[in-house]
A and B are shown apart, each in its own frame.
Chain A
């Protein structure tokens, strides 16, 4: 665990001390060292819990972006007994920022689609840091249609700073690709469960994030724009990103309170990056439960209630209370 976030420093120091004491205890198992070891272990757990129970929104953004946090392919490998990655949009190319294909979770065949940011510098470049091009969204679209054709439920995983904003993306119709996915998902005649596993920003996240159930990992974020982008719009300065993170209500607890998401998937104490396999296990159990429940619904009812669910989201008042 070499990558410590600023606010994790006290925990990091404590952990380093504990490791020293454990080494000493191994060679010299005195009662005193044993007691110290027990105290430090308890202290570490309490401090970690305390920090992670009261993360500020901006700290949550850092956790959501943590390079050691599990990504879509980690879940695909860790929670699926089978996964075949399909490539390409059949029109232009294969975008590596979106991965997907048929998979099996707890015996159930599904189509899994998610954004992949990459870890090493080269992989991150190769995957455009998880910012998909139009061909990525069109690959996702193709996979959604395939799911509908075979009656397979869809599981999507959002983890993106946003859709790629380059000239080539504009030439290939980024906006058109995103819109086509929103439309396709709105009426796709199979169950859809969406999960924000890291950072879910703007239309680039939403274009694989419309479904019957919308979940967030505990320390993921979901936002109309990245805090930096929102800050440059509202403050005219991206440096105000921490203020934007506060104001945007982008954390899972805030969004659940506002009835904008359906469920929070708890992360192990210390965040997903501290215990990837624990996180993967936790999400697998939740997905299994959600998919089982949706599988019991008739398709027409499923699609109608999906429409009603999105139709309800809004906030306004009627001046004068006149009937409309």
Chain B
């Protein structure tokens, strides 16, 4: 980094430096090192000095996980509504808050889903977005996640979900709460079709998302340093008076407690996801199970006719 700094410095001088610096240089959120923006972006926003994984936009996440040009978003036109008529006196109404979130984030909701390929493997991918309403789980996020799993079943391919969320969206009340059950049921439907689900937990994954689809993966990957838990650190300290030890609720803490399978640096995630999906799809299940509705007991299904269908051939290469 030092070398880079010296090499780059002469390029911007005087007033130009004042203007250009914010774009050219970025300060690491953890170690405060000055990083050359272009290099930092090329490393998917991981600090070259301390390894800090800064949050990614949905676009950046897609770029680093999927094969170039393979992404096709689904149902981008779903918009949140206001099921409770949430407009308490003295607080911004939910409708106003939604407008503000859209304005500030440039997004229309806190999740996207669609299909693409990872290392040539067709997958359905859903990504939660902290930039919009703290990635909170409401009806649109729940619906997109559920549709992602159903698309996985229809296309007979693996599902990957990248989670980042502050929890359930209070302003949608029980509608938001029940999305946890709806999404978990959709995960079960995919499990009934015996297709792999890889869950990637990023910073932060909390509350209702942790207590639902995010922790139901066949394989759970976590990003280094990500805060992952049910109750947020502030709530734990307020409720119990316990001071959390350093490192509590990080990805590494969850790995040590047996809650995640792997902590994987961003640059290695694509290869890890591809490898896991390939291995899981190489069992006999992918070629013999009937697709469709949730199967309470999915073992021993005999549907060999599906083995020759083109969709299965596509999945199993």
Interface residues of A (CB under 8 A from B): 163, 165-167, 169-176, 178-180, 182-183, 185-189, 202-203, 206-207, 210, 222-225, 229-230, 233-235, 243-244, 246-250, 255, 258, 260, 299-300, 303-304, 306-307, 310-311, 313-320, 322, 324
Q: Is B48 an interface residue (CB 8 A)?
A: no
Q: Is B202 an interface residue (CB 8 A)?
A: no
A223 and B173 in contact, given A180-B216, A246-B88, A247-B84 (Cβ under 8 angstroms): yes
**Contact yes or no, B231 A174, CB < 8 A:** yes
A31 to B240, CA, bound (A): 60
**Contact yes or no, B172 A311, CB < 8 A:** no
A188 to B185, CA, bound (A): 11
A194 to B267, CA, bound (A): 45
| B255 CB to nearest A CB, Å | 12
A166 and B236 in contact, given A234-B91, A258-B84 (Cβ under 8 angstroms): yes
**Contact yes or no, A165 B184, CB < 8 A:** no
| B297 CB to nearest A CB, Å | 7
Tally inter-chain residue pairs, CB-CB below 8 A. 218
Query: What are 29 sample pairs from A and B whose C-beta atoms fall under 8 A apart?
Result: A163-B230, A165-B239, A166-B239, A166-B240, A167-B242, A170-B231, A174-B230, A175-B215, A179-B210, A182-B185, A183-B188, A203-B208, A206-B180, A210-B185, A223-B173, A224-B170, A234-B91, A243-B89, A244-B88, A249-B173, A258-B83, A303-B294, A313-B139, A315-B80, A315-B81, A315-B172, A316-B78, A316-B80, A317-B79
Residues of B within 8 A of A303 (CB): 294, 296
**Contact yes or no, B184 A169, CB < 8 A:** no
- B174, B175, B258: which has the most chain A beta carbons within 10 Å? B174
**Which of B53-61, B118-126, B140-148, B268-276 contacts its partner?**
B140-148
CB contact between B240 and one of A165, A207, A247 (< 8 Å): that residue: A165
A206 and B173 in contact, given A165-B230, A307-B294, A314-B139 (Cβ under 8 angstroms): no
Q: Is B200 an interface residue (CB 8 A)?
A: no
**Contact yes or no, A178 B211, CB < 8 A:** yes
Residues of B within 8 A of A300 (CB): 296
CB contact between B257 and one of A173, A187, A313, A320 (< 8 Å): that residue: A173
**Contact yes or no, A170 B168, CB < 8 A:** no
| B231 CB to nearest A CB, Å | 3
| B196 CB to nearest A CB, Å | 15
User: Beyond A182-B184, A248-B170, A319-B108: 9 further Cβ-contacts under 8 Å?
Assistant: A165-B230, A249-B173, A258-B175, A307-B293, A311-B186, A314-B139, A314-B182, A316-B78, A324-B74
| A283 CB to nearest B CB, Å | 21
A310 and B170 in contact, given A165-B231, A206-B180, A235-B91 (Cβ under 8 angstroms): no
Closest 8 CB pairs of A and B: A165-B231, A175-B210, A182-B184, A186-B185, A175-B230, A178-B211, A315-B83, A314-B139
**Contact yes or no, A324 B75, CB < 8 A:** yes
| B43 CB to nearest A CB, Å | 30
CB contact between A173 and one of B86, B174, B212, B259 (< 8 Å): that residue: B259
Residue of A nearest to B205 (CB): A175
Within 8 A of A (CB), among B28-46: none
| B267 CB to nearest A CB, Å | 27
Contact indicator per residue, chain B 246-287, by CB within 8 Å of chain A (1) or not (0):
001100000001110000000000000000000000000000
- A207, A249, A299, A320: which has the most chain B beta carbons within 10 Å? A249
